[in-house]
Amino acid sequence: MEDYLRFIVNIVAGAKHGDLQPLYGLLMQTELPERIVTSLPGYRRMGPVRAGNEAYVQLQNDNYGSVILAVCQMFFDERIENPASDELFHQLEHLGHLAFKYHNQPDAGLWELRGSKRVHTFSSIMCWAGCDRLAKIAKKLNHLDREKFWADAAVEIKQFIMERAWDPEQNSLIAVCSGETKELDAALLLVGELGFLAPDDPKFIGTVEVSVFVSSSCLNMSKRIGKILKKGDFLYRYVEKDDFGLPENAFTICTFWYVNALAYIGRKAEARELFEKLLSKRNHVGLFSEDLDVHTGELWGNFPQTYSMVGLINSAIWLSKSWTDAGLC
């Protein structure tokens, strides 16, 4: 874990006073040009096969919060042999300033959309998370002036998000803050785990569940993430057209996020049932791909996919009994 955190810290140091890229090579390469490998037909001859990843040139404003969240562990985890210092905190503050600068700016988003840039709600929420964690780190280090500075920044970002991305008609957070669309985004299932909304907050429950509300004229059934994005047992990351048309397969980690969200709002039995269904779709050695066919459960996309396996681990933790409940302490 500490080696991984050092890798992240090296990225922070390498960025100096510049912006962060969405991805880097394992040896800290900053250029990962994409090319089509014409000699390979692709899986089931469904090419093109690509090498490299052009996403390294994209703007993804969730990066800043993601890095701060990762490194935050070095200030609080007592198992870390070499805990972080004031120097690293001040390096992270640079990323915090960028998070605040970009929280209301368009980007390619978490899903690396190539054909459009919008003010993605999840990117804004991750900018909020970066400022929120900097406030907590500052408090830990007894920098009370910096704690207030970053707490105030987090409040301002949250206010922007709730004014621009909360749709009272749907009783749900929506994918973008710009008002261009009212589509949903499975990444918003993470707002509970991130601490943006509490588990008993009606706005979080409304985002996850089916909710009923009364309009001025009639009673309406409003379908949230758990219904609109869910087909059969599994969730799409979104259901609008992207660079390749309408999505055809569910994105595996999104269903794990849904499992976690259900557990977070107290629906553990339902979460556990869905978790078991997901486990049944692993291959013969227990691995997941990036996507699942919603009709057959067949594995699709990049394989094996670390993202999906991390989702499995996190959901298993969410659904596990505590040592106290299990009678172990």
**How many residues can be counted in the chain?**
329
Cis peptide before 304 (omega within 30 of 0): yes
Q: How far is CA 173 from the centre of its chain?
A: 14
Indicate if the pLDDT at residue 64 is higher than 80: yes
Indicate if the pLDDT at residue 299 is higher than 70: yes
What does pLDDT average to over the chain?
A: 86
Q: Which one, of 182, 154, 147, lies nearest residue 167 by Cα? A: 182
Indicate if the pLDDT at residue 109 is higher than 90: no
**So what's the pLDDT on residue 195?**
94
Indicate if the pLDDT at residue 280 is higher than 90: yes
Lowest mean pLDDT among 5-19, 49-63, 109-123, 183-197: 5-19
Indicate if the pLDDT at residue 66 is higher than 60: yes
**Could you tell me if 218 and 256 are in contact, meaning their C-beta atoms sit under 8 angstroms apart?**
no
Indicate if the pLDDT at residue 217 is higher than 60: no
pLDDT digits (tens, 9 = 90+) for 4-26: 788 887 877 777 667 888 888 88
